[in-house]
């Protein structure tokens, strides 16, 4: 068993989750590499010191460069705003240090491409933090697809819908400013990543993107909203499968609407993250009178579940997805081989997002390879 010093940049919502994951992953999965929470970075010295105490890090700083260059920091987790991702990752790769970067990778497709180039030139382990696709339920769906249990796939529908900005009377925030903070930059990447993982590459798409609440009133009066509230696109995957994806931050009543359904010639599945420990499965088998969707509760027979709990139906939670992700990151470092989703996989998500914006602007179908 060997230890590895972890440096974490960012102490907000995702920073805390990554901290807990690094503290727990060794015990949950008995990993060969055991993380040591070495240094944490926040925007102020006092804030960083407070979070180091709270999250269990040995040292703190307000300068990410100090963290990246510290010899005891051997791997970097980036959980700071996306505008900072590019510079931190580039510096880490120059020093040969593995990087786990939260999505979206860069503030633009151009930045993401530069990050991919740096990662691949350095030949250093790199990973992007798409955690929802790591639930035991979705891992099971991936197994069903690999085993062709559903037959020839004919249709995919996915959504990531929440309602945190559904009320038009809510004041403006950083989320309502800047293209990268809109629904296409915030929620869409998760379901696009799921679509790519489940169905393979997207060949072309036709998108419609909308700002529904065009202004919000704050302390300084009415301010224009400069990014999208919801969006949708029809698409064709390279396999020929037809698909549709929808994303919204104003879907009233939806709290974690990361959901998809897949239809095939021999069966179908439905999944909804609001019930993340269940998969609805239909198999075209048996007599007609007994056919129908059945609810399968995840348990020790499903991928990565047993490490958390021995009781079927007891369930895993959101934090557990981050622990699985931390395990994958440590395994990649231990084996010296990046695991999915790599920076290139993250860049492909950004490429689809950019294609959707281009399609919306031109009001036409766009080929992903042309973006």
Residue 330 has pLDDT above 90, yes or no: yes
β-pairing, 278-283 with 267-272? antiparallel
pLDDT in tens, 193-219: 999 999 999 999 999 999 999 999 999
Residue range 2-131 in CATH 3.40.50.10490: no
CATH class of the structural domain 136-275+277-316+349-362: alpha beta
DSSP 220: T
pTM of the predicted structure, to 2 decimals: 0.95
pLDDT at 55: 97
pLDDT at 104: 87
Q: What does the mean pLDDT of the chain come to? A: 97
pLDDT at 78: 98
Lowest mean pLDDT among 42-46, 147-151, 195-199, 287-291: 287-291
Enter the tokens of residue 57.
């890090």
Do residues 293 and 282 make contact, with C-beta atoms less than 8 angstroms apart?
yes
Residue 180 has pLDDT above 90, yes or no: no
pLDDT at 1: 75
Nearest-angstrom CA–CA distance, 58 and 55:
9
Closest CA to 296 of 149, 184, 190, 187: 149
CA dihedral (277, 279, 280, 283) positive or negative: negative
pLDDT at 42: 97
pLDDT at 273: 97
User: What are the domain boundaries of the chain?
Assistant: 2-131, 136-275+277-316+349-362
Closest CA to 192 of 104, 270, 271: 104
Nearest-angstrom CA–CA distance, 166 and 178:
18
pLDDT at 105: 86
pLDDT in tens, 272-312: 999 999 999 999 999 999 999 999 999 999 999 999 999 99
Please name the residues in contact with 245: beta carbons below 8 A apart, sequence gap of 6 or more.
157, 158, 159, 188, 191, 192, 195, 232, 233, 235
pLDDT in tens, 336-369: 999 999 999 999 999 999 999 999 999 999 999 9
The residue with greater pLDDT, 258 or 104, is: 258
């Amino acid at each position: 068993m060997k230890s590895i010093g972890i440096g974490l940049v960012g102490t907000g919502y995702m920073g805390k989750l990554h901290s807990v994951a690094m503290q727990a992953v060794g015990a949950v999965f008995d990993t060969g590499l055991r993380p040591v929470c070495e240094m944490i970075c926040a925007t102020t010295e006092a804030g960083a010191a407070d979070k180091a105490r709270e999250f269990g890090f040995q040292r703190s700083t307000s300068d990410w460069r100090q963290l990246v260059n510290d010899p005891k920091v051997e791997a970097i987790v980036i959980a700071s705003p996306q505008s900072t991702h590019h510079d931190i990752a580039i510096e880490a790769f120059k020093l040969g240090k593995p990087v786990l970067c939260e999505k979206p990778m860069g503030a633009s497709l151009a930045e993401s491409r530069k990050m991919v180039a740096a990662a691949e030139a350095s030949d250093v382990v790199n990973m992007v933090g798409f955690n929802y696709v790591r639930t035991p339920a979705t891992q099971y769906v991936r197994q069903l697809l690999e085993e062709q249990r559903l037959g020839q796939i004919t249709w995919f529908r996915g959504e990531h819908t929440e309602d945190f900005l559904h009320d038009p009377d809510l004041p403006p925030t950083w989320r309502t400013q800047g293209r990268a903070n809109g629904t296409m930059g915030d929620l869409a990447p998760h379901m696009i990543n799921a679509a790519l993982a489940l169905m393979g590459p997207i060949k072309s798409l036709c998108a419609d993107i909308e700002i529904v609440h065009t202004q919000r009133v704050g302390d300084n009066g009415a301010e224009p909203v400069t990014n999208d509230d919801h969006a949708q696109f029809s698409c064709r995957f390279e396999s020929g499968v037809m698909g549709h994806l929808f994303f919204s931050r104003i879907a009233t009543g939806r709290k974690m609407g990361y959901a998809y359904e897949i239809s095939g010639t021999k069966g179908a599945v439905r999944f909804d993250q609001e019930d993340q420990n269940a998969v609805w499965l239909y198999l075209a088998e048996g007599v007609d009178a007994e056919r129908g969707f059945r609810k399968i509760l995840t348990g020790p027979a499903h991928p990565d579940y047993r490490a958390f709990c021995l009781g079927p139906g007891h369930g895993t939670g959101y934090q557990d997805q981050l622990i699985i992700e931390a395990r994958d990151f440590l395994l990649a470092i231990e084996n010296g081989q990046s695991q999915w989703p790599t920076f290139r996989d993250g860049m492909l998500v950004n490429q689809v997002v950019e294609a959707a914006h281009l399609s919306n602007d031109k009001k036409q179908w766009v080929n992903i390879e042309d973006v």
